[in-house]
Structure 1
Amino acid sequence: MIRLMFVGLWVCAVTLISSYSVAQWSSSLPAEEPQSAYFEGLEYRKVRAINVPVVTDNEVKGYVVAQFVYTADARTLRELSIPPESLVVDRAFRLIYDDTDRQFDGVNKKNLDKLTTEIKTSVNGVFGAEIVKDVLIEELNYIDKRDILK
């Protein structure tokens, strides 16, 4: 019986001494340097293609097929509660549909810088900060109504 008590005391003593030794040893190690923040940079995100009808004189003349890419800070995108994709698509659709200065029928030059700048400014205005850094045009095509029916 006494032998069993000595074995129990010996196990307790070894456990306490080893725990104390490990604690002392780990506290004497040099502290780890905090890892520098990973530079994430800009992230490019492609939005879905949109089909915008071109209406002139209460008649659909054709469709503009457009797809945009926007750039934003990767960390900021993860922290947003509302993804900017839907806002970019909405604003692009409204600008192409509503603006009478942009006539897509026929061959004429478009002010694409103005279009992308207006999309960026509008989306950033909703967030109240410069979330979207740039808007790029991935695809911009005009399809005449007569070409669709062929």
Structure 2
Amino acid sequence: MIKLLITGVWICGVALASVYFSVQAANKPEQVEPDPAMFGGLETIRGEVTSIPVISDGAVQGYFLTRLSYTIEPEKAKLLTIPLPDLVTDALYTALVGEQVIDFSGTKKFDLDTFKSKVKDTLNDRLGEVVFHDVIVEQIDFLSKADIRSNMRRGNFTLNKGAPVGETDAQPAEETAPTH
């Protein structure tokens, strides 16, 4: 009878120990590695072409043209109350016109990494938290006033006459004879 009692206690002890250790193993937090920034979790939003005047000595010296894309968290993008293109355009004007990050006088070399980080930091500072994770450059151009005039002289640029403001395609503009 004692052997049966010891065997029963032994089986109960082993069963309780195995349940205890399996519950402990199941409750351990998993070591989850975060997704790398370029492989999931972030959404890339393509920006619009933005033309920013370069002002020096009180006059427009040319235009800085850029198209940037941004990696942003999709959940935070949905919460924005300001349209994303407006926010980005404001940040570009703030960084390039207000703070003059780029020196077009030719005395400094253009630092692309500084430009990208400045745009990203300006956007995140404006929002008060890290929403934008990276800035991807699709296009950067600078057209001086001389370049624009040269293109117009060569005929690479044409001005098309548009319809008067307020008229639609269904209602063509009527020409009136001048009265004397």
Q: Same fold (TM over 0.5)?
A: yes
Cα distance in 1 for partners of 2:122, 2:131 equals: 11
Cα distance in 2 for partners of 1:78, 1:99 equals: 29
Q: Note the alpha carbon deviations across 1:119-145, whole angstroms, 9 max, x for none.
A: 212221222221111112211101010
> How far did 1:102 drift?
2.1
Conserved? CA contact 1:54–1:63, under 8 Å? yes
Cα distance in 1 for partners of 2:53, 2:80 equals: 31
> How far did 1:101 drift?
5.7
Conserved? CA contact 2:95–2:122, under 8 Å? no
Aligned length: 112
Summarize the alignment of residues 109-124 of structure 1 with structure 2, pairs less than 5 Å apart: 109-124=109-124
Letter matched to residue 44 of structure 2: Y
Cα distance in 2 for partners of 1:107, 1:125 equals: 29
Q: 1:67 to 1:54 in 2, by over 3 A?
A: same
Conserved? CA contact 2:101–2:115, under 8 Å? no
Cα distance in 2 for partners of 1:108, 1:118 equals: 17
Partner of 1:52: 52
SS for the counterpart of 1:49 is strand
Cα distance in 2 for partners of 1:144, 1:66 equals: 14
Cα distance in 1 for partners of 2:92, 2:99 equals: 11
Q: 1:129 to 1:99 in 2, by over 3 A?
A: closer
Conserved? CA contact 1:105–1:144, under 8 Å? no
Partner of 1:76: 76
Q: Note the alpha carbon deviations across 1:9-49, whole angstroms, 9 max, x for none.
A: xxxxxxxxxxxxxxxxxxxxxxxxxxxxxx96211111211
Please tell me the root mean square deviation across aligned C-alpha atoms, in Å: 2.3
TM-score of the two chains, using structure 1 as the length reference: 0.63
Cα distance in 1 for partners of 2:69, 2:107 equals: 24
Displaced runs of 4+ in structure 1, greater than 6 A? none
Partner of 1:132: 132
* More helix by percentage: 1
Using the aligned pairs only, state the percent identity: 29
Cα distance in 2 for partners of 1:78, 1:67 equals: 22
